[in-house]
Amino acid sequence: MGPGPSDVPRRILDAMARPTIGHLDPAFTDMMEQTKTLLRYAFQTGNKLTFPVSGPGSVGMETCFVNLVEPGDKVIVCINGVFGGRMLENVKRCGGVPVVVEDAWGRAVDAAKVEAAFAANPDTKILAFVHAETSTGAQSDAAALAAIARKHGALTLMDCVTSLGGTPVLIDAWGIDAAYSGSQKCLSCTPGLSPVTFSERAIEKVRARKTPVQSWFMDLNLVLGYWSGEGKRTYHHTAPINPLYGLHEALVMLAEEGIENAWARHRTMHEQLKTGLEKLGLSFVVPEDERLPQLNSVYLPADVDDAACRARLLSEFNLEIGAGLGVLAGKIWRIGLMGASASQKNVDYCLKALAAVLGK
């Protein structure tokens, strides 16, 4: 019950144990097309260019940046935690010109600051922000931020690694141009795959590049020869067959539950956990109206040893929760309610274990 990976259901593990077949086998390429359709449902988009990148969420992040950011492109980067900082690193390494909008860790991105940054930098090409900041559990208003970018003629690039499948992610309704996520959070699959989606506006920017994409492996022009499904597929790299079996099964399970039901389940379990944590005297880092249901950050009591407490939870209760990162290291715990881990049984068990350890 940390910030990821989440528990992987037996059904997904069984799917991953199926015999490995070739990455150009007709049976496998048929599953690839199903996976793309199921990912469009998860992202709530009609984007044709929606597929899983072979690698963790960090590779999905780099795929978005190396394809969309050319040297000299001005990019507004919103930083309200660790993962906004990683976006900044990507902009720099792509030769982009970053304009940083900073907010306090534990708070959502301030739309007024973003509007001011565009006013001061009207030649901005891209707005980049984290929808669900995993280091704090803060959730930003993606619709409002994307509307500002669209008004100024810029593309929007969004990190939804921790939000996809657990809280509304509405790519088309919000007007998001590029987004990346991960398989190991609310989709409850194993780590190692990063779903991405690109709008037609984003694809046009990739096609209009004046310089080659700096990464051969992540160059969409090359990867799509394998993932496009239009005409004959061309070999690009050996896809991770068995992890893709698992992601396909995870997405089938999401469709069976219904994405609105999955969002509601995560919200309900959050409310149950919130009530119990507050009874234990623990206070939340993030204000309620900016709080992510599936990543619950709470301050440690003043007299509690962070590492010792988490070690006891693991050794005595076989329960893992997350530590703080960056400026919040040693000050907070991050309790995940992601995918299959978002259940009443887990909430009750977590609260019981915390009560026992804190009592000691």
Position 33 scores a pLDDT of: 93
Give first-to-last CA distance, the chain, whole Å: 21
Instruction: Name the pLDDT band for 229 (thresholds 50, 70, 90).
Output: low
pLDDT digits (tens, 9 = 90+) for 164-176: 999 999 999 999 9
CA distance 246 to 183: 9
pLDDT above 60: residue 23: yes
The mean pLDDT value for 1-9 works out to 96
CA distance 193 to 354: 32
pLDDT digits (tens, 9 = 90+) for 112-121: 999 999 999 9
pLDDT digits (tens, 9 = 90+) for 284-298: 999 999 999 999 999
pTM: 0.96
Are 82 and 162 spatial neighbours (Cβ–Cβ below 8 Å)? no
pLDDT above 90: residue 318: yes
Sign of the four-CA dihedral 54, 245, 45, 164 = negative
CA distance 147 to 130: 15
Position 167 scores a pLDDT of: 98
Sign of the four-CA dihedral 315, 316, 319, 325 = negative
CA distance 120 to 137: 30
pLDDT digits (tens, 9 = 90+) for 53-88: 999 999 999 999 999 999 999 999 999 999 999 999
CA distance 99 to 127: 9
Same fold, 10-255 and 259-359: no
Q: Which of 21-30, 189-198, 316-325 has the lowest mean pLDDT?
A: 21-30
Instruction: Name the pLDDT band for 259 (thresholds 50, 70, 90).
Output: very high
CA distance 20 to 238: 12
Q: Which class does domain 259-359 fall in?
A: alpha beta
Using alpha carbons only, how large is the chain's radius of gyration in Å? 20
pLDDT above 60: residue 231: no
Show the CA angle centred on residue 342, arms to residues 336 and 346, nearest 5°. 85
Alpha-carbon distance values, 259 to 166, 186, 253, 256, 288 (Å): 8, 11, 10, 8, 23
Instruction: Name the pLDDT band for 302 (thresholds 50, 70, 90).
Output: confident
CA distance 91 to 105: 21
pLDDT digits (tens, 9 = 90+) for 232-258: 778 888 899 999 999 999 999 999 999
Sign of the four-CA dihedral 229, 51, 253, 172 = negative
pLDDT above 90: residue 230: no
Domain boundaries, the chain: 10-255, 259-359
Closest CA to 117 of 135, 134, 97, 136: 97
Q: Which residues of 31-55 are buried (b: 16+ CB within 10 A; e: fewer)?
A: bbeebbebbbebbbbebbbbbbbbb
Are 270 and 194 spatial neighbours (Cβ–Cβ below 8 Å)? no
Which residue reads 């990507």 in tokens? 90
Half-sphere exposure of 13 (CA within 13 A, CB side): 6
Closest CA to 230 of 48, 44, 15: 48
Looking at CATH, the fold of the domain delimited by 10-255 is given as Aspartate Aminotransferase; domain 2 (3.40.640)
